[in-house]
Each structure stands twice: as structure tokens, then as C-alpha cells.
């Protein structure tokens, strides 16, 4: 592409304004270090006021198609987020023979196969390092560092909001208090449901697994959020030598992939246990390379914007179009996945309750490795069960039966146990 890049920026929100600030402040440093000169030729946004605040209103346009028609512009930076009009903008940019840089994991998770195919057809690149895990170079690691290896599994703390909330709960705060704190600090949206229900992490693990396994999935990842967790669960996990993290997990097994997101208990000695607050982390397991652990800030205006600018710089040295291929891959039914489990059951404190639960486990052929009553002198007491390995199907049936027992007075909390080393 050469050492001079002319960009058209679409979206002057948090990340877009961060990109402008970095270019205004560090453009000479970038050119000195890399030999790449980045020129901001045009910007498009709903609001002219944002452009005025950034002192770039002289290159402002209200219609993104004006940028596509500008022959000087060779890179479109899409930072509006969401599905539409982001998908249309990206596809139109590709058809106009413009390279694309984006931080939009939502549109890539939903429409990535279509976007990548069009990019290869039109011989342009689509780079998106900032779409997953902020400043962790996970996309580049998968596509370049591991290009000669076979990745067998991915484990990741992929959402900074939930990791911050779980960290604060582990420090003694309630879920409600931790969420409020996250919102005050800008780590959580006013409506945090997309994060706390695990949907954001699910989009990210879907995208990572597609790239790592060259896989085309026609189903979404199984997803469970953190809404049912309480400070009690954090405390009980700690007593057992575990911490609780929301993990995105992808495992390739023969011709299918296990793909899921949910809260997991992991050993306190594991590296993931020390990843706190808004920090993200990813563990890649390769056949030849072994385990690679990456960690860093997963969100934030300037960290994410810095990665977007790095992708722009990367385009200057690209002499080839990224080749991405995807073959139809089935997801392993969640009912067939296997784990050990933690269950917290609210039982009436009367004779026969534990025996009733044990009978259900026996019927479903689930072996119990441990059981502890955590409180006394209450009408309803929490009882914690730890199982040996069982399928999700077995556990789901057991929970369904137990919830119907008269001795069970609270919704059963179920958490997988991942014995990571």
C-alpha cells in the first residue's frame, strides 16, 4: 500500500474520538518510528458538533458514501458499532476497493463470513484487532504467530465489565454494589444486560473460534451469565480453593467444537484467578507451541483506539490480502459436554432433605465428591455439593428434578468447575 495512508473515519464516538486524538498527538512519532504517514482525510458522523469539538469540522461529511468516492482515501475506519448500518458501510467500503479497519465484534460475529469472503474477492484487507480484548494482540497471534500450528483450545476472560463485577464481589461487595461501581467508572453501560448475560463474551469467543479453527458455525455459543451468582458463591468458592470467572471456552474435538460461555470455578493458583477488574486474558493451546497466555486491558477509549491505529499502520506493510477460509463445523451439543460441577441448594432444615437430593443424583448417575452445609439455625440453609465429572444433560435433569422437591426452597445455583493447571 505504500508508506502513506489516507483514511476516512466513520464514527466519532468514544473510540473514534480516541483515534483522532492519537493521530493529532502522535502522528509525527508514528511516522518517525514506522515510516508510515497517516492522513485523516475525512470524517463522517451523525453530529457535526463532535467534529467541531475535535477541531476536524473542516473535513466533516454527513454521508459516508462521500468518503467512498474520494479516490485519495484508501482505508475506511468503521467505529460506529452495532449491526446496521455498520455491515452495509463495511460491505460498501470493500466493494469500493477500500481496506477496512474496525473494532466492531458484533457485526463480525454475525456477518464475518460474508465480509471476509467479499474482502478476498475484492482484494482488500479487513483488520479488526480492537474487536476482541482491547489491547491484547489476540487476532494477530492467532492469524500470524499460530499460522503454522493447530490450536486445540481457547480459554478467555473476554468481558471487562463482568470481570470487574466479579472482582469486586470477591472483595466483599454485593452484585448490585459492584455493578453500580462499574457504571460509575464507565466500565458498564446503563443497561448492562449484554455484558452480564454473557452475550458480549459469546460474540468474542465465536469470532476467535472461527479464526482459530477455520470454522464456519451455524449456531451460536451456549451462553450463561453471572446474574445468579451471589457473594456467598464467591466466598464458598474461595473456601474450596477456587475463584469464579466468566470464561469463554472453545475446544476442538475431532470434527466438532465445544463452544460456550459461563461462570466457572477455577483453581486459585491458576493465572486466570489473578486477572482482576477490567483486565482481559486469553489462553491459547497449540499442538506445537503449547500454552500461550496473554493479558491486558480489554476496554477503554485510548487503549482500544491505540489498537485501531496499530491496524492502520499494519496496512502500510501489507503486500498481500489476508486469506481466511472457513469450513462448516458442527458444535458439540451442550448436553454432551462434561465437567465437574458446584451446586448451591437452598434446603429446608429438616430431616430427609439431603437424602432426597442424593437420591436424585443417584437416579441421574451423578457421583458426589463433596457436600457441606454452610449455615445452621436457619429455616432454609445453603448446602453446597461438588460432583465428579458428569454431562451437562445429566446435571440439567438433576437440577430440574431437585427444583421440584418440596425441601428445595431456592433456585439452585449451578457453576462448572474447570480444573485448569
pLDDT tens per residue, the chain (421 residues)? 568 999 999 999 989 999 999 999 999 999 999 999 999 999 999 989 999 999 999 999 999 999 999 999 999 999 998 999 999 999 999 999 999 999 999 999 999 999 999 999 999 999 999 999 888 999 999 999 888 889 999 999 999 999 999 999 999 999 999 999 989 888 888 899 999 999 999 999 999 999 999 999 999 999 999 999 999 899 999 999 999 999 999 999 888 999 999 999 999 999 999 999 999 999 999 999 899 999 998 777 888 899 999 999 999 887 788 889 899 999 999 999 999 999 999 998 888 888 999 999 999 999 999 998 877 667 888 999 999 999 999 999 999 999 999 999 988 999 999 988 7
State residue 350's pLDDT score: 81
**Whole-model pTM above 0.75?**
yes
Question: Which residue is catalytic, options 98, 105, 204, 245?
Answer: 204
Domains of the chain as residue ranges with CATH: 4-131 (3.40.50.720), 138-298 (3.30.360.10), 337-417 (3.30.70.260)
Closest CA to 303 of 189, 191, 137: 137
State residue 221's pLDDT score: 95
Cβ partners under 8 Å of residue 326, min gap 6: 113, 116, 210, 214, 215, 216
State residue 2's pLDDT score: 60
Whole-number Å distance between alpha carbons of 364 and 399? 10
Contact status, residue 101 vs residue 128, Cβ threshold 8 Å:
yes
Q: Cell numbers of 417, please? A: 468447575
State residue 322's pLDDT score: 85
For 19, 41, 63, 65, 384, the CA distances from 50, given in Å and listed in that order, are 13, 16, 15, 19, 53
Contact status, residue 271 vs residue 193, Cβ threshold 8 Å:
no
Is residue 400 annotated as part of the catalytic site, yes or no? no
Amino acid at each position: 500500500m505504500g508508506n502513506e495512508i489516507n483514511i476516512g473515519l466513520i464514527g466519532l464516538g468514544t473510540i473514534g474520538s480516541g483515534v483522532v486524538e492519537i493521530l493529532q498527538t502522535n502522528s509525527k512519532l508514528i511516522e518517525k518510528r514506522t515510516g508510515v504517514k497517516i492522513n485523516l482525510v475525512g470524517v463522517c458522523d451523525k453530529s457535526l458538533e463532535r467534529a467541531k469539538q475535535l477541531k476536524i469540522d473542516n473535513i466533516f461529511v454527513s454521508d459516508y458514501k462521500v468518503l467512498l468516492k474520494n479516490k485519495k482515501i484508501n482505508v475506511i475506519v468503521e467505529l460506529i458499532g452495532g449491526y446496521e448500518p455498520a455491515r452495509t458501510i463495511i460491505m460498501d467500503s470493500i466493494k469500493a476497493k477500500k481496506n477496512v479497519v474496525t473494532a466492531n465484534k458484533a457485526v463480525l460475529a454475525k456477518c464475518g463470513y460474508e465480509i471476509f469472503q467479499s474482502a478476498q474477492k475484492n482484494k482488500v484487507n479487513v483488520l479488526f484487532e480492537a474487536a476482541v480484548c482491547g489491547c491484547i494482540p489476540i487476532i494477530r497471534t492467532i492469524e500470524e504467530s499460530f499460522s503454522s500450528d493447530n490450536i486445540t483450545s481457547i480459554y478467555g476472560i473476554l468481558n471487562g465489565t463482568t470481570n470487574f463485577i466479579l472482582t469486586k464481589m470477591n472483595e466483599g461487595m454485593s452484585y448490585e454494589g459492584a455493578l453500580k461501581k462499574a457504571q460509575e467508572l464507565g466500565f458498564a453501560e446503563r443497561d448492562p444486560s449484554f455484558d452480564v448475560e454473557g452475550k458480549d463474551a459469546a460474540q468474542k469467543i465465536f469470532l476467535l473460534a472461527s479464526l482459530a479453527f477455520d470454522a464456519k458455525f451455524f449456531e451460536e455459543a451456549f451462553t450463561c451469565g453471572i446474574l445468579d451468582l451471589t457473594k456467598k458463591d464467591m466466598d464458598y468458592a474461595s473456601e474450596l480453593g477456587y475463584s469464579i470467572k466468566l470464561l469463554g471456552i472453545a475446544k476442538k474435538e475431532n470434527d466438532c467444537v465445544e463452544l460456550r460461555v459461563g461462570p466457572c470455578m477455577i483453581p486459585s493458583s491458576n493465572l486466570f484467578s489473578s486477572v482482576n477488574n477490567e483486565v482481559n486474558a486469553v489462553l491459547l493451546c497449540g499442538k506445537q507451541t503449547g500454552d500461550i497466555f496473554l493479558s491486558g486491558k480489554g476496554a477503554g477509549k485510548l487503549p482500544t483506539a491505540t489498537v485501531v491505529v496499530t491496524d492502520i499502520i499494519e496496512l502500510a506493510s501489507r503486500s498481500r490480502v489476508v486469506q481466511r477460509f472457513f469450513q462448516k463445523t458442527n458444535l458439540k451439543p451442550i448436553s454432551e459436554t462434561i465437567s465437574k460441577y458446584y451446586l448451591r441448594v437452598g434446603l429446608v432444615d429438616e430431616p430427609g432433605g439431603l437424602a432426597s437430593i442424593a437420591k436424585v443424583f443417584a437416579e441421574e448417575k451423578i457421583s458426589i465428591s463433596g457436600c457441606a452445609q454452610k449455615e445452621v439455625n436457619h429455616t432454609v440453609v445453603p448446602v453446597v455439593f461438588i460432583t465428579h465429572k458428569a454431562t451437562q444433560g445429566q446435571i440439567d435433569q438433576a437440577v430440574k428434578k431437585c427444583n421440584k422437591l418440596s425441601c428445595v426452597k431456592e433456585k439452585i445455583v449451578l457453576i462448572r468447575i474447570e480444573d485448569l493447571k
